[in-house]
């Protein structure tokens, strides 16, 4: 276990009344061993399963339990721990605490603290299978997930109530690993500035029409959001889309390929990496009519001229920046992706088959192959764009790590 990772981190562990409460003792112990300062909060029901004294001894701090008690160590406010926490972990989380949190009920110290804190929240549900599978519990979990609360999936197995099924608390080591992963993820791109392009471009024909493409921006916005969560400074150059700009991201909105080119070049010298997931028009109408083009009986012929290849230009001007391209292909994916990797002087390229129904444009999922400069490649199964965004950023982090160790990963 990485002992430094949790050094200086303040973690508030909320213990609720379930048979798995005894496992929370080991969770607290492991968090402390990993360097965290741990404060435990118990519901009254939890004290029926494990004593306050046990947690006090294991955490090294008084246990907060009664909303009205005068806990010596914390100031007057009953929610003092809400502001102190860098992360709050509810283990085990009963169906009751999930339901209260989903509806905003704050009728004891723990639920008041959950409601008041701005710290990331992790819930490790543990309960009888019937309760876990009840539509009410499922709906509550889904509400919590939508609010960005982390749910540590319960395991399947033999439950205390005598049945086999889902609802068992995962092993303490696995729970602590989720916390470690969270902190390592949130810090992994600190100090890095990343430029992401997203969405499609629009090439005007006249004041009301344009040539566009099917990109929705989902892939690029997922990357920008994940990069900010990992601590990077993120500039998002985006074509028109209805997706809101993720918190913490600086967005530059553009329409045409040439506007995108200008925006990207103005930021290029100051960034550490560019991830170019935008779908850029290769051609634009030679002329833009200043008035709406009127229909006539005959055919209409448009003359198109080449747009700049932005990524190619970046490859030519590259200094220390890592360049990550995308390749949208409908056939011969590997051949075309490798050509683009080479021609545009990229470090790696993420290729998607955009003829698939569940991948590429407009979907929430994607299935990609990644090709690297040194000839390596990897195929990834279908996954959400959010998950793929994290994977691409892991590869980028891995690239920097290997470079700092002096290994030339992608020799020129």
Report the b/e string of 78-115 with b at 16+ CB within 10 A.
Answer: bbbbbebbbbbbbbbbbbbbbbbbbeeebebbbbbbbe
Whole-number Å distance between alpha carbons of 202 and 401: 38
Number of H helices and number of E strands within the chain? 13, 21
Does 309 bind ligand PMT (CB under 6 A)? Our answer is yes
* Burial classification of residue 162, based on how many CB atoms lie within 10 Å of its CB (0-12 exposed, 13-18 middle, 19 or more buried): exposed
Residue 232 C-beta: closest distance to ligand PMT, Å: 19
Binders of ligand PMT among residues 143 to 202 (CB under 6 A) are 199
Among 190, 362, 402, 408, binds ligand PMT (CB under 6 A): 362
Please list, in sequence order, all residues whose beta carbon lies within 8 angstroms of the beta carbon of residue 226, skipping any fewer than 6 positions away. Answer: 386, 389, 390, 393
Closest contact distance (angstroms) between CB of 283 and ligand PMT is 9
Q: Does 321 bind ligand PMT (CB under 6 A)?
A: no
218 binds ligand PMT (CB under 6 A): yes
Strand-pairing partners, residue 371, are 349, 377
Q: What angle do CA 91, 94, 98 make, to 5 degrees?
A: 95
The reply on whether position 94 binds ligand PMT by CB under 6 A is no
Q: Which of 21, 271, 278, 323 binds ligand PMT (CB under 6 A)?
A: 278
Residues 6+ apart with CB under 8 A from 154: 124, 125, 126, 127, 132, 166, 167, 168, 169, 170
Among 229, 284, 340, 373, binds ligand PMT (CB under 6 A): 340
224 is a site residue for ligand PMT (CB under 6 A): no
| Cross-strand bridge partners of residue 203 | 211
Rounded to a whole number of angstroms, the minimum distance from the CB of residue 324 to ligand PMT is: 8
Query: Which stretch, 73-81, 248-256, 288-296, 359-367, contacts ligand PMT (CB under 6 A)?
Result: 359-367
Active site residue 115: no
Could you tell me how many residues of this chain bind ligand PMT (CB under 6 A)? 27
Write down the least CB distance from residue 371 to ligand PMT, Å: 12
**Catalytic residue annotation:** 161
Residues that bind ligand PMT (CB under 6 A): 199, 215-219, 257, 276-280, 282, 307, 309-311, 325-328, 340, 352, 354, 360-362
């Amino acid at each position: 276990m990485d002992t430094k990772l949790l050094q200086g981190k303040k973690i508030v562990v909320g213990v609720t009344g379930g048979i798995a409460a005894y496992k929370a003792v080991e969770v607290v112990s492991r968090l402390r061993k990993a360097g965290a300062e741990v404060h435990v909060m118990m519901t009254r029901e939890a004290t029926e399963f494990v004593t306050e004294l046990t947690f006090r001894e294991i955490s090294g701090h008084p246990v907060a339990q009664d909303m009205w008690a005068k806990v010596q160590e914390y100031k007057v406010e009953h929610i003092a721990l809400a502001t102190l926490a860098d992360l709050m972990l509810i283990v085990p989380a009963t169906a009751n605490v999930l339901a209260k949190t989903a509806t905003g009920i704050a009728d004891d110290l723990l639920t008041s603290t959950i409601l008041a804190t701005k710290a990331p929240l992790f819930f490790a549900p543990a309960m009888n299978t019937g309760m876990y599978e009840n539509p009410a519990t499922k709906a509550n979990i889904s509400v919590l997930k939508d609010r960005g609360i982390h749910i540590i999936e319960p395991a399947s197995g033999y439950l205390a109530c005598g049945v086999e099924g889902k609802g068992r608390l995962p092993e303490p080591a696995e729970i602590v690993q989720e916390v470690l992963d969270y902190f390592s993820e949130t810090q992994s791109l600190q100090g890095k500035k990343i430029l992401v392009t997203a969405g499609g471009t629009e090439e005007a024909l006249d004041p009301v029409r344009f040539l566009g493409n099917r990109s929705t921006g989902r892939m690029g916005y997922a990357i920008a959001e994940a990069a900010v969560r990992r601590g990077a400074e993120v500039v998002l150059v985006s074509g028109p889309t209805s997706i809101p700009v993720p918190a913490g991201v600086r967005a530059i909105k553009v329409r045409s390929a040439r506007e995108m080119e200008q925006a990207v070049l103005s930021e290029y010298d100051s960034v550490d990496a560019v991830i170019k997931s935008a779908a850029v028009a290769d051609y634009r109408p030679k002329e833009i009519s200043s008035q709406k083009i009127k229909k006539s009986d005959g055919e209409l012929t448009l003359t198109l001229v080449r747009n700049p290849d932005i990524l190619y230009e970046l490859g030519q001007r590259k200094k220390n920046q890592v360049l990550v391209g995308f390749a949208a292909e409908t056939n011969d994916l590997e051949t075309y992706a490798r050509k683009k990797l080479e021609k545009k002087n990229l470090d790696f390229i993420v290729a998607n088959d955009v003829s698939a129904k569940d991948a590429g444009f407009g979907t929430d999922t994607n299935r990609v192959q990644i090709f690297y400069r040194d000839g390596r490649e990897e195929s990834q199964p279908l996954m959400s764009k959010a998950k793929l965004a994290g994977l691409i950023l892991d590869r980028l982090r891995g690239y920097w790590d290997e470079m700092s160790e002096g290994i030339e990963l992608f020799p020129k």
